[in-house]
Structure 1
Amino acid sequence: MGRVIEDTGVQVEPPKNTWKRHVWDSLDKSPKERRFLLKLDLALLTFGCLGFFSKFLNQTNITNAFVSGMKEDLDMFGNELNYAMSAFTAGYIVGEIPSNLLLTRIRPSIYVPALQIIWTGLTMCTAAVKTNSQLYALRFLIGLFEAGYYPGLMYMIGSWYRKDEMAKRACILNASGSIAMMFSGFLMTAVTRLGGRGGLAGWKWLFLMDGVISFPIAIGSFFFLPDLPETTGRRYFTDEEIELAKKRMVLEGRKLREPYTVQKVKKIFSSWHIWLLTLYYICISGTSGTPIFPQYLKLSKNPKYTVEQINLYPTGVFAIQAFSALVFAWLSDTILKGQRWTVIMFGAALNVFTFSSLAAWNIPEKFKWACYYLAGMHVGLSGIAMTWANEICTDDTEERALVLATMNSMVSVVGTWLPLIVWQQIEAPEYHKGFITATSLGAVCLFLVPLIKWLQDKETLRRLARLGGSRDDESSSSVGDEIKEKSDEIKTDTNEVKA
């Protein structure tokens, strides 16, 4: 029998836990919940992925444009590419946290598509730049308006889905970004054939085509992207389904929105959540956005690669990112039963191996290529990290929004100055300082992840004990069983860490 919440009569049937859940989490749930999740996936996940695809296409095409004529046309022979990328991340820093906080107060179905339309127009304007200063200004503004999209979507996923559903959706969203980066190479290869038409170089056509792809997605989001369970008014959800959505979040321990107060802000910043989760996310994202493989191909003399090859060969990295994101998600949601830290530890160890090998540099050519490709796997962990943060901050929606935004924002802060120090364009393709730094960040993760897991388990036991003490006898017995089950699970995890 389903669990009845309050006095609404809405039931959330427990899943049957058959083999079907290993294929897709809704297949062993009740027909009503399955129908609701299908509608939600078609709206939030479909348009979220399409928007993320267009965002990453706009964000990363500057690298493809750089190696396809922009460098020569704008005289970018020093560290100008680094400056352009730093201008973008500077915009991210300014816009990210305020944007996610606004998302808790403004309807996402209006706010998010508005951001998409603005950054689409700015991206198309990039085709008209004539100086590096104009490029820097546009990149800053694009970063400013793109800043709230990814953490905002992660916040929305955490507001609609339960624990066994989140990682798959978050990683599918991440995979769409990797597919966009892969598609960018093919798109650049295609639009180079437009070079000269309309008096525009091929790399300029790339930014115009970005707008052609992005604008319809933004318009569609206005009509289909849902708000939050407590505020959504989309007609494709019935009243019963909206109540079901709210009760699912109650069962998950997610709290509704509350006012921002001085006490709440103090609570958020005195917790380990915002500090350790942000530090961990910085460590796994230390190489994101650094075009180490394209630069290696562009500067290679023996053999010398064509522009088409420079754009196409790195697409394999993004294919690995997308594939690994999905594998990590299914493993952590099903076989590992929500244990995020296990796959995260694997990713950190792989980072140490690949980047330490590249730091050595004088390794066989085939092994070097393998390291470039395998280094993309750590990006697949981003969705798992955001899912873990959603779960850790489940009982405070404002903290959840702020932590998710801060994690992503601080990566942008580091991305503003770190490339100028350790990923300098003039040191390509060896990047010895950069590879050493990436190796060190991976090693830090190997210590941080077990610490976060231990702290999370302590909080979980305290929360369950507190719930047990505040219920009636029957409920306390149920919660007591839950506490015992969780305690056994935590002991198992602790033994695994020691091993």
Structure 2
Amino acid sequence: MDSKPYPHVEELESSPSCDPQARAEDLVPETPTAKRNWRSYIWDSLDKSPEERKFVFKLDCALLTFGCLGYFIKYLDQANLNNAFVSGMKEDLNLYGNQLNYMQTCYSAGYVIGGLPTNMILTRVRPSIFIPCMELLWTICTMASSRARDAHQFYAIRFFVGLFESALYPGMIYIIGSWYRSDELAKRSCIFQAAYPIGTMFSGYLMAAVYHLDGVGGLRGWQWLYIMDGVISLPVAIAGFFIIPDFPDITRAWYFTEQDIALARKRIQLEGRATRQPYTRAKFWKILTSWHIWCLIPLYVCWNNGGASGQPVFAQFLKDSTTPKYSIPQINNYPTSTYGVQVFCTLVFAWTSDSVLKGRRWPSIIIGGIFNIICYISLWIWDIPDGWRWACYILMGVGAALAGIIMSWAHEICSADNEERAMVTGGMNQMAYVIQIWLPLIIWQQIHAPKYTAGFATVLFIGGPVMIGLAILTMWLHKREKYK
């Protein structure tokens, strides 16, 4: 396979006017921790050269802005199902069995089919073309959900929403890992990751707001939710064609100068992060026989499936309550407190991991696992005071705040091979959803709501001791590899 399917910018370095590349040698320190002072603990670029600081600022404004908005609308469009379900869709479409579980499974099936292939496509196709096209397609499917008349139509729509959305998260994580240095990576990954709980929170607020449109235009409130999601998503998808900077070796971003491009390439070179190479049989064999893929994928699978924050357990508890009886806006708004905790902890883990812990990722994972054990063992017992039950539902957000840390760790461990980095991070996301296809059908059956005994026991085990054990094993293997 041709490793250069579209124009590169190698000419920049070889041209006589390549003063920018010569300058880049002097502007970037050999290690990201060189000359660190107290300002770097506030924001990593504050103690870097003015030229590098300006470049990172432009990169943040473009890549992080689009990434966060894209991930925001992804989870806005994904979370609308749970919010619509508890806001009248269940009764209007007569969904009194396990139809919600089947809809979630159809979404996961589409997501799994697209997960790894989309990341491999991104090593050959410009992200500034591929990702916005996928966003436009899932936006159309989201708006089509407002016209679904039964569960079977929802099954088909949710499958395609999952298929098209599968490109964004692993793709943006891969792109972020292609631009930032090790002292910058966790913060950017976690800021991007924070858009997920914010999108989920906003979906609840939006449902509470559009519920008052019930009856307008002959549509129910939950139908207006899907329409408004599409209206919000469309301009973000279009903006992606102009904002995504692709990769340092092929970027044609209008906001970068030649010096910026040379500086970007030098930064990645100093990180030891490999550029694109052909896919060969030897490369596939090397990737599949490395400990990287066999430790990092299970670690991420345990995080993704070792929690209940993705299930409407809090909302279903409120909906089931009779004393007091909560209103539809309250049922949608109160569970957003879990995602508020998740946003806060995501940012705390990012800053401490990059600065205070000097790049160590495993302590944050262990802390999140401990909170999972505390919360889910309490909910598994179930016969606990209501005040503590509310606290457990809210504190679930601590264990849910680890995705950016785990993905940053994967980028660093796989930095020497670009294709391995793409396949491992894509495989982490894909295999997490492979488990998510069938596991909720067993442990989160809607007919058992809100007392999900099997669900709470399962995530207690996966998201607690198993995830912590895998984090310690990965830390030990990575340390041994670096010594070698």
- Correspondent of 1:98 among 108, 114, 117: 117
1:337 aligns with 2:354: no
1:460 aligns with 2:460: no
Tell which has more relative contact order, 1 or 2 (C-alpha 8 A, sep 6+).
Answer: 2
The share of aligned pairs that are identical, in percent, is: 52
Q: How does 1:180-199 map to 2 (within 5 A)?
A: 180-199=199-218
Q: Residue 489 of structure 1 aligns with which residue?
A: none
- Correspondent of 2:325 among 304, 313, 332: 304
1:33 aligns with 2:61: no
Q: Residue 37 of structure 2 aligns with which residue?
A: 18
Deviations 1:361-419 (A, max 9, x none): 11111111101010111121011010011111011111111111111111111111111
2-structure distance, mates of 1:267, 1:344: 27
One-letter code aligned to 1:150:
Y
> Is the deviation greater in 195-204 or in 284-293?
284-293
Deviations 1:202-260 (A, max 9, x none): 00000000011010111111111111000101121111111111111111010000000
1:409 aligns with 2:437: no
Deviation at 1:285, TM superposition (A): 1.4
2-structure distance, mates of 1:447, 1:130: 46
Residue ranges of structure 1 left out of the alignment (5+ in a row): 463-499
1-structure distance, mates of 2:363, 2:467: 12
One-letter code aligned to 2:474:
I
1-structure distance, mates of 2:74, 2:192: 12
One-letter code aligned to 2:327:
T
For the 8 Å contact 2:197–2:339, the answer to whether it is kept is yes
**DSSP-derived class of the 2:113 partner:** helix
**DSSP-derived class of the 2:402 partner:** helix
2-structure distance, mates of 1:427, 1:252: 50
Deviations 1:140-187 (A, max 9, x none): 000000001101100001000000001111111111111111111110
2-structure distance, mates of 1:306, 1:78: 23
1:366 aligns with 2:381: no
Q: Residue 232 of structure 1 aligns with which residue?
A: 251
Q: Residue 287 of structure 2 aligns with which residue?
A: 268
Deviation at 1:357, TM superposition (A): 1.0
Q: Residue 425 of structure 1 aligns with which residue?
A: 446
1-structure distance, mates of 2:466, 2:69: 34
1-structure distance, mates of 2:42, 2:391: 30
**Equivalent residues, number:** 458
1:64 aligns with 2:83: yes
1:450 aligns with 2:469: no
Deviation at 1:13, TM superposition (A): 3.1
Q: Residue 373 of structure 2 aligns with which residue?
A: 352
**DSSP-derived class of the 1:285 partner:** helix
Q: How does 1:62-141 map to 2 (within 5 A)?
A: 62-141=81-160
For the 8 Å contact 2:190–2:346, the answer to whether it is kept is yes
Deviation at 1:305, TM superposition (A): 1.1
1:217 aligns with 2:239: no
Deviations 1:39-87 (A, max 9, x none): 1001100011011101110001110000001101111101000000110
Deviations 1:86-126 (A, max 9, x none): 10000001001100100111001111111111111110000
Q: Residue 48 of structure 1 aligns with which residue?
A: 67
RMSD (CA atoms): 1.2
1-structure distance, mates of 2:430, 2:311: 17
What is the TM-score with the length of structure 1 in the denominator?
0.90
Q: Residue 421 of structure 2 aligns with which residue?
A: 400
- Correspondent of 2:296 among 255, 265, 277: 277
1-structure distance, mates of 2:292, 2:325: 48
- Correspondent of 1:293 among 309, 314, 333: 314
Q: Residue 8 of structure 2 aligns with which residue?
A: none
Q: Residue 151 of structure 1 aligns with which residue?
A: 170
2-structure distance, mates of 1:145, 1:338: 33
2-structure distance, mates of 1:446, 1:289: 20
- Correspondent of 2:460 among 439, 445, 450: 439
2-structure distance, mates of 1:388, 1:445: 14
Q: Residue 496 of structure 1 aligns with which residue?
A: none
For the 8 Å contact 2:28–2:266, the answer to whether it is kept is no
One-letter code aligned to 1:459:
E
**DSSP-derived class of the 1:254 partner:** coil
2-structure distance, mates of 1:358, 1:59: 25
For the 8 Å contact 2:214–2:221, the answer to whether it is kept is yes
For the 8 Å contact 2:28–2:267, the answer to whether it is kept is no
Residue ranges of structure 2 left out of the alignment (5+ in a row): 1-12
Deviation at 1:304, TM superposition (A): 1.7
- Correspondent of 2:402 among 353, 375, 381: 381
**DSSP-derived class of the 1:380 partner:** coil
Deviation at 1:289, TM superposition (A): 2.1
Q: Residue 349 of structure 2 aligns with which residue?
A: 328
Deviations 1:444-466 (A, max 9, x none): 1121111100100111122xxxx
Deviation at 1:263, TM superposition (A): 0.6
Deviation at 1:16, TM superposition (A): 2.9
- Correspondent of 2:190 among 171, 189, 192: 171
